[in-house]
Amino acid sequence: LGVPWKWESESPDRETDFASIGTHTAIAPDQLLQQLHSRSWKLGVQRWVLLRLTQLEGETITEKGGQLARLMVAAKMGGADRVFVDDVYNNKHGLLNEAGSPRELFIHWRTIALLLQDSTYLGSFAFQHGSPNAVFAKDGEVAVIVWNDEPTKESLYLGVDPVEMDLWGRTTPVPADPATGESQITAGPMPKLLIHCSEEVARWRIAARFGIGRMQSVFGGHQDSVRVKNTFSQGVSGELNIVLPHEWEAEPRTWAIAAEAGETLDLPMFLRLPPTANLGEQMTMWDFRITADRPYRFRVYQPYTVGLDDLQIDVFDRRLPDGRLEIEQVVTNRTNPLEKLDFRC
């Protein structure tokens, strides 16, 4: 027994098996993910997400299909137990016509639904040029779903025989550079589905991080560490070399690594930044050359934050039923200890 519930309302506190959550206004993928993460749910209550195709923005099937795919991915990332589409049989905006034959968006829905069904969300990792992504594991293989607001070229090692799939279900092998083993892809508004990727390398990328990952000031030196987890089912050995932004100094920059299966290494380092270092997130590059069941060579990108990072601003846009565009700006006070901020000007 479940109840329908709107995003605009507080989470249900009554006894129920599930809450079917939806809204009559358009919701962006980032907003959907934020709603699922920010709410507290009663233990045992399943979250069923209801998507309305009338809320999809875009003039073409490609644009609408891309947004539908991102909404489905966001729901899965947020831990939704089920994802449904409202008004399936509709000649104007349904997945099926009233007679039961499929419409254009049905293929997009089916492709993503089959990919995400019974999969486990592992997390995401940083691309060199910041393309958002989501990594899902199923049956010993990994799918990486990547997108970007603008066409952006990204290069990375995906595995031995990665395959690119579009939302129509068409597949194309992804060639790799013989010298580096990296594949080049172009991320854009239409999500790209990369399947048959290496699960061990994907988990390694997700787990890799700095011990602290930020410094408040660019003056003087700062102690930090590089954390690496062996995600292979056997011991590994090899080398890690870290590449930093221009004029950044680190001691050391290179480590010999050896780890048992599942072991996490915490490798200390001392960082010095020049006075001219930029504030905000700066990208670092970690080059791994390791041997497990065979030799592997891959790269991990990891951001490092310079500055206090005590104020976060998120901007969301949504199309209202009357056609107007609404812009919402969310300012998060992250000062610690908490300070009162005054934005009057």
Q: Give tens-digit pLDDT for 20-29.
A: 667 666 778 8
Kindly indicate the confidence band of residue 151, based on its pLDDT and cuts at 50, 70 and 90: very high
Local structure of 135: helix, strand or coil? strand
**pLDDT tens digits along 90-115:** 888 889 999 999 988 999 999 999 99
Q: What share of the chain is helix, strand, coil (3-state, %, to 5)?
A: 15, 40, 45
Quote the CA–CA distance of 261 and 234 in Å, as a whole number: 5
Kindly indicate the confidence band of residue 314, based on its pLDDT and cuts at 50, 70 and 90: confident
**Packed helices 29-38 and 61-77: angle between N→C axes, nearest 10 degrees:** 10
The pLDDT, as a whole number, for residue 24 is 65
**pLDDT tens digits along 249-273:** 999 999 999 999 999 999 999 999 8
**pLDDT tens digits along 281-297:** 889 999 999 999 999 99
For 183, the enclosing helix (H) or strand (E) is strand 183-187
Q: Average per-residue pLDDT in the chain?
A: 86
Quote the CA–CA distance of 306 and 280 in Å, as a whole number: 5
Locus of tokens 């995401």? 124
What structural domains and CATH numbers belong to the chain?
2-116 (no CATH), 120-199 (2.60.40.1180), 208-306 (2.60.40.10)
Question: In the predicted model, is pLDDT for residue 312 greater than 80?
Answer: no
Is residue 88 within 8 Å of residue 98, measured between CB atoms? no
Quote the CA–CA distance of 287 and 255 in Å, as a whole number: 11
Q: Does pTM surpass 0.85? A: no
Kindly indicate the confidence band of residue 17, based on its pLDDT and cuts at 50, 70 and 90: low
Stretch 212-238: mean pLDDT: 88
The pLDDT, as a whole number, for residue 217 is 67
The pLDDT, as a whole number, for residue 309 is 64
In the DSSP assignment, the letter for residue 277 is P
Quote the CA–CA distance of 26 and 322 in Å, as a whole number: 11
Quote the CA–CA distance of 317 and 326 in Å, as a whole number: 6
Task: Indicate the residue type of 281.
Answer: E
